[in-house]
Structure 1
């Protein structure tokens, strides 16, 4: 991939309207802000400076990442802390032409430290509301249940969250996947569905394709987060396609956590070729080295995606969002217009313009 072609991809991605559907707010905690808040709250971190924090962002698998992730979250104590965390993320992605976000937050990460649920959510909601007013960015909030804890703990958080029924659009399921199948949380997901919330679940990242089946059949989710391993099961691929269930794929996360051996081997083009509603997102960008534009650009460059494939990911991000139909249509039209107006851009040389053989 030439530098010139990489720059062309980057320019195309920068102007492309996008929606972010797989973002953990706690995972957007940049070292500089972490250090600032730790000082403000007089909490000692095991690092002398920002550079040492950055150096610590080295891990080989999901669990090693989660250990660092939860340690960083320990400095978040007050409403202003959660506001600052969310606002920093919104400002960043607004500069990347992200027009709509559906963000996860992990209340149990904080309530287990004695931070009240209300403090966490009200700080985040204030930032999201300011994002609508000041940045023109629409947003929804998704409350995640931590799967390494038991379902009883998740039910307690459900009852905390129900007080904010109208401010929360849906629930998710994240944290350590292996050994914690979706079926472990069938009751709390049924309660969440009865509350009128949309349903998501992380499945098929490190866990097997069977976890994806459980998520769609037992939890009855509207969207799968990750889902890479669906490619191991042709029947599952057909079912996901039939139901038009979105897959929120996280390329740089997959690379960093070695879900793929190398980004050039990422399955995104295969997912798209199979007719699946796959889209690219940043997951935990402070830890994985890139926000939305970096995920799009590095993935497209590494796998030699065409311009239309890049645009398809953006379309899927809006199509599988929880936005009203008329809002989705508006953004889809905008993407069509953008692609048409940039039709002169020849991103890939002709010899690479084919889908991977499947």
Structure 2
């Protein structure tokens, strides 16, 4: 075993209760098959699956687009404020069980408004669940609205217009969906407008897209975080820049495996990122589809890459240091991690 643990079981127990934040979670991607069936029945929505087992069998993706096709299909069962509440509350319960103290979740309003669901319905359900998690679990949260990059910048502008009455509950904007062929440059103006409104900026870049997309996210969108960023490792100058700027990368190991970004979890670049001085974090992305919530992601790379106690603590510390909490909030959580590590 690496320094700090005497057994794999000891490491697993350490991960299980380690305070952590999750910074890369698509709330629609936490829709478990059981809830999908329940909501389909509640809303009288036909879905092309006869059973929960059929849904799980469909989760055999070879690339990002294969996943997105079923992801958008599953989203179609979400209609009412109650649906969005139930979806979000179910994720937050799972996150709490994984010792997650703070979440920064993505939602895709265009995937709902384009099928006639009001923007206000979506955000009311999500934020009510976030408020309840603060009361029940002491869990803090930030909400990040994503633009779908396979759609146009004009459509993103329209979505930002729809968000204006709700900016007291929206903390940032992001960019997700099909990466290849839709570079960050496509959305430079709408992200500039979002920045002028005081919103934090993040973007998916360097998952399937090239290192050039990461450069564009930094230089044109002026992001505060990079979501994924794996392919940054192909560009030594970019690695040096990300390290020098202290740019947080929200890495999603089981997602990378499921979408064939890596062929084997033992080949995951997370340890390489840490060794290069990059502020990598561990996140679950779309846990229902990719086979694991945040602790499962920690455990998978800890086992595959034989991570040390120091590595694991660094990843947890990075998750709070890279969050959009204020300095006092970050310091509180960092102190909790240090106390936990010292006592373990």
TM-score, normalising length: structure 1:
0.94
The residue aligned with 1:270 is 272
CA–CA distance in 2 between the matches of 1:291 and 1:10? 14
User: Please, which of 333, 337, 340 is the counterpart of residue 339 of structure 2?
Assistant: 337
Q: Tell me the alpha carbon deviations over residues 286-333 of structure 1, each in whole angstroms, 9 at most, x when there is no partner.
A: 000000100000111001111110110000000000000011111111
CA drift of 1:6 comes to: 3.4
TM-score, normalising length: structure 2:
0.97
Q: Does 2:116 align with 1:114? A: yes
Q: Tell me the alpha carbon deviations over residues 185-226 of structure 1, each in whole angstroms, 9 at most, x when there is no partner.
A: 001100100000000000000000000000000000000000
Q: Alignment partner of 1:218: what SS?
A: helix
CA–CA distance in 2 between the matches of 1:6 and 1:104? 33
Q: Does 2:251 align with 1:249? A: yes
CA drift of 1:5 comes to: 3.6
Runs ≥4 residues deviating over 6 A: none
Q: Does 2:327 align with 1:317? A: no
Q: Does 2:43 align with 1:22? A: no
CA–CA distance in 2 between the matches of 1:51 and 1:257? 20
User: Please, which of 212, 215, 227 is the counterpart of residue 214 of structure 2?
Assistant: 212
CA drift of 1:118 comes to: 0.7
The residue aligned with 1:158 is 160
- The number of residues matched between the two structures is 340
CA drift of 1:12 comes to: 0.8
The residue aligned with 2:187 is 185
Summarize the alignment of residues 31-70 of structure 1 with structure 2, pairs less than 5 Å apart. 31-70=33-72
The residue aligned with 2:227 is 225
Q: Alignment partner of 1:114: what SS?
A: coil
The residue aligned with 1:345 is none
229-238 or 15-24: bigger deviation: 229-238
Q: Alignment partner of 2:221: what SS?
A: coil
Q: Which runs of 5+ in 1 are unaligned?
A: 343-358
CA drift of 1:7 comes to: 2.3
Summarize the alignment of residues 61-100 of structure 1 with structure 2, pairs less than 5 Å apart. 61-100=63-102
The residue aligned with 1:195 is 197
Summarize the alignment of residues 1-20 of structure 1 with structure 2, pairs less than 5 Å apart. 5-20=7-22
CA–CA distance in 1 between the matches of 2:306 and 2:132? 38
User: Please, which of 257, 260, 273 is the counterpart of residue 258 of structure 1?
Assistant: 260
Q: Tell me the alpha carbon deviations over residues 38-92 of structure 1, each in whole angstroms, 9 at most, x when there is no partner.
A: 0000111111121111111111110000000000000101110000000000011
Q: Alignment partner of 1:36: what SS?
A: helix
CA drift of 1:341 comes to: 1.2
Q: What value does the CA root-mean-square deviation take over the aligned residues?
A: 1.0
CA drift of 1:273 comes to: 0.8
Q: Alignment partner of 2:50: what SS?
A: coil
Q: Tell me the alpha carbon deviations over residues 231-260 of structure 1, each in whole angstroms, 9 at most, x when there is no partner.
A: 111111111112111000000000111111
Assess if the C-alpha contact under 8 Å between 1:83 and 1:127 holds in 2.
Answer: yes
129-138 or 170-179: bigger deviation: 129-138
